[in-house]
Amino acid sequence: MVQTIKILADIESYITDFFEEKIAKEYVFHDLNHTINVVKASLEIGQSIGVSETELEILQVAAWFHDTGYTDGPKGHEQRSVEFAKEFLQKARYPQQKILLVEKCILATLFPHNPEDLLEKVLCDADLSHLGKKNYWDRCGKIRLEMNYTQGKILSDQDWVEFEIDFLEQHEYFTSVAREMFSKRKKKHLRQLIKQKIRLNPGTTSISIEEARLLSSKRKDIPKNVIIDNQEDLQVKDLRLGRGVETMYRAAYRTHVNLSSIADNKANIMLSVNAIIISITLSTFIPNIASNPKLVLPIAALLMVCLGSIIFATLATRPKITSGIVTKEDILKKRSNLLFFGNFYQMKLEDFHWGMMEMIKDQDFLYATMTRDLYFLGKVLAKKYRYLSICYGIFMYGIIAVVTLFGINYFMF
């Protein structure tokens, strides 16, 4: 414990001098104040989750160093931050195993964030914790200034508000603790940004369905100059979906399952019948083919008909396996289908559970997913029955042709 306090105190002193001497004053957002806030947030989130003292220490060390790479600008700063951290920690004889964990945490802050373990998720959440804090507007203004100072980007108020809305809509906290601590205020900031967007556009303003719902639960409260994209979809939330709708979905699913079962049974019948015909033909006619050469053509035709029927019957029952992974982006944009195993069988349990909870919490997302699932079930059924239709057509017309060939051979020879 004493060693932890000492190393953190040494790091704090070092980072304070580091920012004063090596980070340009133009970085008004990625400054010492931001680093201190990230350290505090990582400690707060980590303690709330219940990580160990050693893990808390690693989180704080990584938080102190995570933006030191801004000595040479934002591009590649994560890797430079790792190098600065390694240099200091090795001189301080910090354990190599801990240094590796610190490196991983710092590299996880590379945007867009894609953390793998809990500590990385905590640091990523801490790095953007200001989105759900009272100081959001101050930090928001500073990053706008920083982009102006360091990149020469001068954005109008309308462009800046759009930029912030897009960023907040796409961002999600990784840990449940961070979501509980910051999501409510983040939504409040997003709602204020949407109102600001409408104020900055006195004419007609277009907003998404999600923005409209966040702005007001009642459509009549939305300003008249606001156009809602695909607002016919907004009516799903307004409907009082009850037992009748549930019965409809249940009946539709049952019908699809029954039709799929019927198609599989029909395909199995065709597979069995044609396999029997081929077996009898090979065992009965083939040995006598030398003494009856006139049978070569009709027997070959019979075998081809049976083979064609078997191919299409097999295609009708052959399962199609998809990638088995639904990305977080797909879930956030509500374009995923977690109701079919082929879409999630390779996902981690925690990712699948998170996605299901997101779907359950959002009635629109839930019904949209069920509707999407029914649609693709119908597409699969259509393919099954198309193959079955071809299979039965080959069998029916093929048998007619084969019998005709046998008749012709009989009368001719």
CA-CA distances (angstroms) from residue 210 to 160, 183, 190, 345?
19, 15, 11, 29
Of the chain, the percentage scoring pLDDT greater than 90 comes to 40
For residue 188 the two structure tokens come to: 């409040």
pLDDT band at 226 (very low <50, low <70, confident <90, very high): low
Q: Which residue has the higher pLDDT, 5 or 257?
A: 257
CATH class for the region spanning 2-200: mainly alpha
- Alpha-carbon torsion (43, 46, 52, 58), positive or negative: negative
Residue 222 has a pLDDT of 58
Please tell me the distance from the alpha carbon of residue 356 to that of residue 337, in angstroms, as a whole number.
10
Residue 234 has a pLDDT of 47
Does 56 score more than 60 pLDDT?
A: yes
Query: Are the beta carbons of 191 and 165 closer than 8 angstroms?
Result: no
Please tell me the distance from the alpha carbon of residue 18 to that of residue 337, in angstroms, as a whole number.
49
Report the mean per-residue pLDDT for the chain. Answer: 84
Does 144 score more than 60 pLDDT?
A: yes
Please tell me the distance from the alpha carbon of residue 105 to that of residue 61, in angstroms, as a whole number.
10
Q: Residues 8-45: pLDDT tens digits?
A: 999 999 999 999 999 999 999 999 999 999 999 999 99
Q: Which residue has the higher pLDDT, 143 or 210?
A: 143
Please tell me the distance from the alpha carbon of residue 403 to that of residue 279, in angstroms, as a whole number.
18
What size, in residues, is the chain?
Answer: 413
**Residue the block writes with tokens 């009272």:** 134
For residue 205 the two structure tokens come to: 């303003």
Q: Find the mean pLDDT for residues 57-67.
A: 94
Q: Find the mean pLDDT for residues 384-408.
A: 91
Residue 406 has a pLDDT of 84
For residue 350 the two structure tokens come to: 């925690």
Q: Which residue has the higher pLDDT, 209 or 354?
A: 354
pLDDT band at 220 (very low <50, low <70, confident <90, very high): very low
> What residues does each domain of the chain span?
2-200, 243-412
DSSP 224-257: TTEEETTTTTTHHHHS---HHHHHHHHHHHHHHH
Task: Give the angle 277-282-286 at the CA atoms, nearest 5°.
Answer: 130
Residue 210 has a pLDDT of 65
Residue 304 has a pLDDT of 93
Residue 122 has a pLDDT of 94
Please tell me the distance from the alpha carbon of residue 115 to that of residue 105, in angstroms, as a whole number.
8
Q: Residues 286-341: pLDDT tens digits?
A: 777 767 777 788 888 888 999 999 999 999 888 776 767 787 777 777 777 888 77
Does 274 score more than 50 pLDDT?
A: yes
Q: Residues 350-387: pLDDT tens digits?
A: 888 888 888 887 777 888 888 888 888 888 899 999 99
Residue 209 has a pLDDT of 58
Query: Are the beta carbons of 75 and 103 closer than 8 angstroms?
Result: no
Q: Which residue has the higher pLDDT, 289 or 131?
A: 131
Residue 174 has a pLDDT of 92
Q: Is the pTM of the predicted complex or chain greater than 0.85?
A: no
Does 241 score more than 60 pLDDT?
A: no
CA-CA distances (angstroms) from residue 223 to 64, 110, 199?
45, 39, 10
Residue 131 has a pLDDT of 93
CA-CA distances (angstroms) from residue 193 to 163, 188, 196?
10, 9, 5
Which residues on adjacent β-strands are paired with residue 207?
A: 228
DSSP 207: E
CA-CA distances (angstroms) from residue 213 to 216, 231, 322?
5, 11, 33
Does 202 score more than 80 pLDDT?
A: no
- Alpha-carbon torsion (211, 217, 219, 224), positive or negative: negative
Residue 250 has a pLDDT of 85
Of the chain, the percentage scoring pLDDT greater than 70 comes to 88
Instruction: Kindly report which listed range (160-169, 178-187, 188-197, 327-336) carries the lowest average pLDDT score.
Output: 327-336
Residue 182 has a pLDDT of 92
In 3-state terms the chain splits into helix, strand, coil percentages (rounded to 5) of 75, 0, 25
Query: Are the beta carbons of 193 and 161 closer than 8 angstroms?
Result: yes
Please tell me the distance from the alpha carbon of residue 332 to that of residue 173, in angstroms, as a whole number.
12
**Residue the block writes with tokens 């759900």:** 132
Instruction: Kindly report which listed range (13-22, 114-123, 233-242) carries the lowest average pLDDT score.
Output: 233-242
Q: Give the other-Cβ count within 10 Å of 299's Cβ.
A: 20
Please tell me the distance from the alpha carbon of residue 70 to that of residue 380, in angstroms, as a whole number.
53
pLDDT band at 216 (very low <50, low <70, confident <90, very high): low
Does 169 score more than 90 pLDDT?
A: no
Residue 37 has a pLDDT of 94
